[in-house]
């Protein structure tokens, strides 16, 4: 049993390291979004996919290990969580290491969520700005109203200015 717990702690530590890498990459992504560097954003997105794939593999390994531990502890495998496991092994020496890695993992996941929420807000702001800019461009290209002389003849107007005309 101790070997399974040690293996689980190792997987959780590796998963935490993987999430830390994602946090750092997401912080770099923030700078790239602000700088509007689309090529670098593409590279970071590809790296994120690789790191996410690694994390998912670790998580699948964790699930298998948790099922094995549940079997040894005679707990239904779909009912076992890390918290339940920590409570079940509180008398063993591995309990404190498990609690420690659980706490670090939760903190890292929270940090990743915060950085990702910030990045999402920046992207949303950028998209709103682009939408606003397109609306300004579209509105400047609309047809001018038809003007008539007092005799009823149409006056042709040509808008030769840019988006923002100035009077001098």
Specify if 157 maps to a domain. Answer: no
Q: Highest mean pLDDT: which of 56-65, 66-75, 85-94?
A: 56-65
- Label residue 78 by pLDDT band (50, 70, 90): confident
Specify if 80 maps to a domain. Answer: yes
- Label residue 6 by pLDDT band (50, 70, 90): very high
Q: Which domain holds residue 132?
A: 2-141
CATH classification at residue 61: 1.20.58.300
Specify if 158 maps to a domain. Answer: no
Q: How much is the pLDDT for 144?
A: 57
Q: What are residue 155's phi and psi, to 5 degrees?
A: -100, 125
Between 167 and 1, residue with greater pLDDT? 1
**97 CB contacts (<8 Å, ≥6 apart)?**
9
- Tokens representing residue 93 in the block: 């020496």
Q: How much is the pLDDT for 90?
A: 85
Among 157, 161, 163, 160, residue whose Cα is nearest residue 144: 157
Specify if 147 maps to a domain. Answer: no
Statement: the pTM of the whole predicted model exceeds 0.75 = no
Domain count within the chain: 1
Q: How much is the pLDDT for 142?
A: 59
Specify if 69 maps to a domain. Answer: yes
Q: How much is the pLDDT for 51?
A: 95
Using a pLDDT cut of 70, give the percent of the chain over it: 85
Specify if 166 maps to a domain. Answer: no
Specify if 45 maps to a domain. Answer: yes
- 92-97 long-range contacts, CB within 8 A, separation 24+: 92/1, 92/2, 92/5, 93/2, 94/2, 94/5, 94/6, 94/9, 97/9
- Label residue 156 by pLDDT band (50, 70, 90): low
pLDDT tens across 79-105, in order? 888 888 888 888 888 889 999 999 999
- Report the pLDDT averaged over residues 37-44: 94
**Whole-angstrom distance, CA of residue 4 vs CA of residue 91:** 16
């Amino acid at each position: 049993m101790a070997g399974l717990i040690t293996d689980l702690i190792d997987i959780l530590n590796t998963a935490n390291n993987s999430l830390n890498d994602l946090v750092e990459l997401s912080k770099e992504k923030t700078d790239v979004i602000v700088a509007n560097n689309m090529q670098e954003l593409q590279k970071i997105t590809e790296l994120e996919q690789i790191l996410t794939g690694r994390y998912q593999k670790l998580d699948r390994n964790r699930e298998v290990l948790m099922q094995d531990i549940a079997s040894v502890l005679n707990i239904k495998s779909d009912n076992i969580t890390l918290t339940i496991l920590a409570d079940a092994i509180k008398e063993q020496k591995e309990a404190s290491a498990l609690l420690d890695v659980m706490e670090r993992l939760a903190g890292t996941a929270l940090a990743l969520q915060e950085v990702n929420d910030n990045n999402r807000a920046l992207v949303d702001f950028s998209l709103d700005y682009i939408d606003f800019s397109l609306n300004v461009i579209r509105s400047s290209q609309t047809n001018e109203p038809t003007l008539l002389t007092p005799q009823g003849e149409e006056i042709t107007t040509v808008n030769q200015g840019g988006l923002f005309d100035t009077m001098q």
